[in-house]
Amino acid sequence: MKYIRDYGNGLKVPEDELTPFERNRLISEGKSVDRIQCCLDTGETMAPLIGCGIKEYYHSAEKMCELEEYIYNTFKSDGVGLSTTLRGMAEAMGSEIKYTDTNVAQLKTPALTLKTIDNAKIVDVEKDGRLPIILKGLRMVKDRLGDKVPVSGTVTGPFTVAAMVLGTEWLLMGMLKCPDKIKQLMDVIVENNNKYIEKLIDMEVGIGFADPVSSTTLISPEQYHEFSYPYFKKNVDFIKAHGRGCGLHICGTSRGLWEDLKTTGIGLFGLDNVESIKEAKEVLGPVMAIQGNVPPVDIVKDGTPMEVLESAKKCIEDGHDCKCGYVLTTGCQMPIGTPEANMHAMMDAARLFGRNM
């Protein structure tokens, strides 16, 4: 057996025996594989790894592709892809976004107010905002890496898009003061998301959603059920109508939403590190795969490689026997400044502790 790293104390990391595609195929057939799957949750926060400012990354399909090539070639993650990012669809709908070279983009001026929801824009995904840049980058990634590793596109969940179109405080206020207007906006966002999703389907890439504003850190399960769930499900139903599946990640607390999530039709749910893999395995595991949930800040950014290995080992122990499958990753996107040694340790944990699972 060939080894690629030695952490000492007998922890010698074996080389992968299978390609990501071979691993995927065998898992889908219920057969044994060399190790569990592990995906690095990266994106714009990792742009400095290729000497690129974050603002430049946001506006360059070439830099987006270059980063995905670097991530795959350096760490051999089991997946690559590009995201609309949390504000990409809102920007296409008219929100003004602030970009800097040292931090992720932030909402500067919302596109709409509660009084102007009637003006909500139907987007052209090939022309509006940065969506054309992201789609171009995704096509480049598919062309350059699509024969080596699964490629996916991440879409922002409708409720989070609404928060970036109105501003989060005004969205929450609107749910109380003018709920019908908020639902009217949500329908427009569903249509816009489906236009983008249709491009992903045409490209034959995987599809995932990021929906942090749907967290019960911000809203109640009852509010989720009324204002987020129905519209997210419309996007999922659109995907399933095309014979495809999808996954979802919600930051923060989500336990109160799990019964709803079981009926959305998603095939995978990504847990924030504040939630329990063991509990998710029992509640969600019979109907979907789960992924997570090594702490991205305290452990992956600020910890040592050995601490990453220890935390990831615990996640693997808790999740490996999930009925519908388990994928090792962080509880959320890896932050700016995450050491490459710790990213290697994430992947190495799957190679060391995720064997013969």
Report d(CA 133, CA 281) in Å as an integer. 37
pLDDT of 357: 64
User: Residue 110 is which amino acid?
Assistant: P
pLDDT for residue 7: 96
Given a contact cutoff of 8 angstroms between Cβ atoms, the answer to whether 279 and 293 are in contact is no
pLDDT at 260 over 70: yes
pTM of the model: 0.96
How sure is the predictor about 28, in pLDDT bands with cuts at 50, 70 and 90? confident
pLDDT digits (tens, 9 = 90+) for 31-68: 999 999 999 999 999 999 999 999 999 999 999 999 99
Render pLDDT for 220-259 as a digit per residue (tens, 0 to 9).
999 999 999 999 999 999 999 999 999 999 999 999 999 9
The set of long-range contacts for 8-15, using a CB threshold of 8 Å and a minimum separation of 24, is: 11/309, 11/352, 13/348, 13/351, 13/352, 14/351, 14/352, 14/355, 15/351
Please say if the pLDDT value at position 356 is more than 80.
no
CA distance 230 to 143: 35
Residue 111 has pLDDT above 70, yes or no: yes
Q: What is the mean pLDDT of residues 316-331?
A: 97
Q: Hunting for tokens 């990391």 — which residue is that?
A: 13
Supply the pLDDT for residue 133. 98
Given a cut of 80, whether residue 332 has pLDDT beyond it is: yes
